[in-house]
Amino acid sequence: MARREMIWLALVVWANSMLVLPFSQGALAAPPVAAKEVEDSPPEPEKSPQEEDAEVYELMRLFADTLDQVDRNYVKDISRRELMEAAIEGMLTKLDQYSAYIPPEQIDRFKSGVESEFGGIGIRVSVEGGILKVISPILGSPAYKAGVLAGDTIVEIEGESTRGITIDEAIAKLKGKVDTSVKVSVLHEGEEKPIPVELTRKTVRVATVLGDTRNDDDSWNYMFDEDQKIGYVRINTFGRHTTEELKETLDLLNAAGIKALVLDLRFNPGGLLSCAIEVSDLFVEEGKIVSTAGRNAPARRWDAHTRGTYADFPMVILVNRYSASASEIVSACLQDHERAVVIGERTWGKGSVQNIITLEDGRSALKLTTASYQRPSGKNIHRFEGATDEDAWGVIPNEGFLIKLSTEELREYNEFRRQRDIVGRKPEEGEAFEDRQLLAALSYLRGRLSGENEKEDDQKADGKTKKAPEKQAAAGN
């Protein structure tokens, strides 16, 4: 069989498999037409299923002909795999920015991000000036147990120099199947001779629920204010194990007598919809959490349950311009139910849901936007193209709590946070960053615990007082 006919046959088989679902559900039905349009130009009659089939086959023939011509006659030799992946990526550019093709060489890293675990030695690394440096070992990992420290240089991997190595090459060599070993040569800071270390790869789980500072055993300390029992919990992504980690943390805080909580979702890009629903359900006793609606999926609604709810303390949720998706589901839900006060900046504005569709028996995947979601109040979350600041999108902090950080402040905060997150490193004396958003959260919660803010809320309800946003934000400094 000629190459062109083989391409054509493969596309016909694919087209047949794709036609069943849309036509059976009427997804291609024409939209309603306004009365004026009917008077001026009657709508074209709907195509029959047979006509639709014929049109799809013609489009597949066009694609097959183009692929065959490029494959045979283009001036340079390009693999069919590259051509097909370029065609897929080109197709997805017509969709929204969140739909994407995940090729085989990226699928493992993508899965690790979703699962928050991987097979490896458990270190975060960077390449600085061609030198492979350890940012931090992961608590409890093989590297942590072997004494690998933040600031160490990995000189060799399996006897090969790492000089000039790229970050992707380093990760590929250090990661691997569980219970396999890897030999590295590690140079500690301040020493002249590297030491050989043989590490056995294990399943490394990356924590997604974090605190502010670490205890002596390098575990996180979640009690920010020991005197007033104000807890602080930071979630950096909504992964497979986040709900479990958060429950364990809240139980620890409850046992320590927590009276108020700061939930920090700043810089959290999102994650799993199911996890966002579960986290919201931990703090809300009843009512709608979120609902979704899609083109080929029935509308769905998730409601909160009383059982297992942590509802006995006031809360603040911190967000910023980089809080997105699942972060917005949680903050919008708790804000709408008046379970928490939202402080910080307006969030990113991502109100869409992506499904992960496996391709090639799991060797690649398609991340496809299949639905949009709505917060309990019904307000829009998604920032559509061309949206202005006056339009409804994202999660806006509660009145009086819009506190924007400058670009310089964000840079300083990220460096401060990076240093504080290093395992085995204790904050130095005098080391501090004036986190105006966190200070405002603490000020509000301390006022709630003393009863001051409750009096102010009552006065606002009676129409007697109304604080200006800038004055209230300044109170947290």
Burial label, 105 (beta-carbon count in 10 A; 0-12, 13-18, 19+): exposed
Distance, in Å, from the CA atom of 464 to the CA atom of 110, rounded to the nearest integer, reads 53
Q: Which parts of 229-347 fold into alpha helices (H)?
A: 242-255, 273-283, 326-336
252 φ, ψ (degrees, to nearest 5): -60, -45
Distance, in Å, from the CA atom of 418 to the CA atom of 287, rounded to the nearest integer, reads 38
Please, which residues have CB within 8 angstroms of residue 374's CB and are 6 or more apart in sequence? 290, 291, 292, 293, 351, 380, 381
Structure tokens at 437: 């958003």
Direct distance between the N- and C-terminal alpha carbons of the chain, in angstroms, rounded to an integer: 75
- Cross-strand pairs, 367: 100, 356
Long-range contacts of residues 104-108, Cβ cutoff 8 Å, at least 24 apart: 104/360, 104/363, 104/364, 107/362, 107/363, 107/364, 107/365, 108/175
225 is catalytic: no
323 in Cβ contact with 347 (< 8 Å):
yes
Please, which residues have CB within 8 angstroms of residue 432's CB and are 6 or more apart in sequence? 416
Q: How many CA atoms lie within 13 A of 351 on its CB side?
A: 24
Q: Of 280, 350, 352, 421, which residue is the catalytic one?
A: 350
Going by C-alpha positions, the residue among 32, 28, 31, 27 that lies closest to residue 47 is 28
Q: Of 212, 264, 281, 336, which residue is the catalytic one?
A: 336
Query: Taking the CB of residue 372, how many other CB atoms lie within 10 A of it?
Result: 17
466 is catalytic: no
Distance, in Å, from the CA atom of 90 to the CA atom of 92, rounded to the nearest integer, reads 5
232 in Cβ contact with 212 (< 8 Å):
yes
Q: Of 112, 141, 185, 325, which residue is the catalytic one?
A: 325
Strand ranges inside 89-174, DSSP E: 100-102, 117-120, 123-128, 131-137, 153-157, 160-161
Strand ranges inside 103-171, DSSP E: 117-120, 123-128, 131-137, 153-157, 160-161
264 is catalytic: no
- Three-state DSSP at 339 gives coil
β-pairing, 153-157 vs 181-187, is: antiparallel
Lookup result for tokens 């911190």 = 318
Distance, in Å, from the CA atom of 216 to the CA atom of 210, rounded to the nearest integer, reads 15
Write out the catalytic residue numbers: 325, 336, 350
